[in-house]
């Protein structure tokens, strides 16, 4: 018995929340490990830049191209990370002009929409047909590359608070409009084939995000272990002197 598609939507949202929390922790851990190794904030930020670079480029270009399509003026584009006031790492930034909240919201959400699309299509290559791992002679190269691309995409696809601040205005308006239309008796009927495809897509999203959450959790625990070892060595070195 197949579950309703909204069940997979709920699961996908829960996994996305987990990935969001993990992305903040992992990027901070990478910075701290690099800082422990080099004792240089510049070198630590450079390490974060190198590790997350492909995802950062996808993130900022998503903002840029959607802004271009919606005729939203843009300014400075940077792929270099900065440390926010709360201590988290922000991978890059793109300055956009002040426009109506709807276009601003779409531009702000562009990276997560692009990131989810990227995860979906990479997941189709990676998860659907696993036989290529044993049959393809280049799988030992392609497999780590695909894992890395999935990882950095899941790490960098989330929009910042500034990117989604316009949802404070646009969100309630959209909800009110939706409720108003539902009260008018307007109904949209989709063909069965569309519903079947939608159900399949959300099932696959839930599976992909579940696997990404598991993988990123392993990365998080590994970095946490390495960080604890690094701190112990620093303490040991200080007490020995």
For residue range 181-198, what is the model confidence (pLDDT) as tens digits?
666 766 665 566 655 667
* pLDDT higher than threshold 60 for residue 25: yes
Sequence-separated (6 or more) residues with CB below 8 Å from residue 116: 157, 205
Distance of CA 209 to the CA centre of its chain: 10
Please check whether residue 162 is in contact with residue 96, taking contact to mean a CB–CB distance below 8 angstroms.
no
Q: Where are the domains of the chain?
A: 5-230
Distance CA 136, CA 221 (A): 31
Reported as a pLDDT band with limits 50, 70 and 90, residue 238 is: very low
pLDDT exceeds cutoff 60 at 142: yes
Question: Model's pTM, two decimal places?
Answer: 0.78
Query: For 28-51, what is each residue's pLDDT tens digit?
Result: 899 899 998 888 888 888 888 888
pLDDT value for 87: 58
pLDDT band at 134 (very low <50, low <70, confident <90, very high): low
64-73, 111-120, 214-223 — most confident range: 214-223
What pLDDT score does 241 carry? 32
What whole-number distance in Å separates Cα of residue 158 and Cα of residue 31? Answer: 18
User: Measuring CA to CA, which residue among 23, 29, 26, 27 is closest to residue 230?
Assistant: 29
**Tens digits of residue pLDDT in 51-105:** 888 888 888 888 889 989 988 888 877 777 666 666 556 667 778 888 888 888 8
């Amino acid at each position: 018995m197949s579950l309703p598609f909204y069940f997979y939507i709920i699961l996908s949202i829960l996994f996305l929340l987990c990935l969001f929390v993990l992305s903040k922790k992992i990027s901070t851990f990478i910075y701290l490990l690099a800082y422990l190794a080099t004792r240089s904030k510049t070198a630590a930020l450079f390490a974060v830049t190198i590790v997350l670079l492909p995802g950062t480029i996808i993130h900022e270009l998503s903002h840029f191209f959607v802004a271009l399509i919606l005729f939203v003026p843009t300014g400075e584009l940077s792929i270099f990370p900065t440390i926010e006031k709360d201590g988290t790492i922000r991978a890059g930034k793109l300055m956009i002009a002040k426009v109506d909240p709807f276009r601003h919201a779409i531009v702000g959400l562009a990276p997560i929409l692009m990131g989810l699309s990227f995860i979906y299509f990479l997941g189709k290559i990676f998860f659907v047909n696993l036989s290529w791992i044993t049959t393809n002679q280049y799988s030992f190269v392609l497999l780590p590359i695909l894992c890395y691309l999935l990882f950095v995409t899941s790490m960098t696809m989330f929009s910042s608070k500034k990117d989604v601040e316009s949802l404070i205005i646009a969100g309630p308006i959209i909800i009110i409009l939706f409720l108003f239309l539902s009260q008018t008796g307007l109904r949209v009927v989709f063909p069965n084939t569309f519903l079947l495809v939608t159900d399949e897509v959300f099932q696959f999203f839930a599976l992909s995000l579940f696997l990404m959450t598991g993988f990123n959790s392993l990365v998080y625990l590994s970095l946490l272990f390495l960080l604890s070892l690094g701190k112990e060595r620093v303490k040991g070195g200080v007490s020995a002197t």
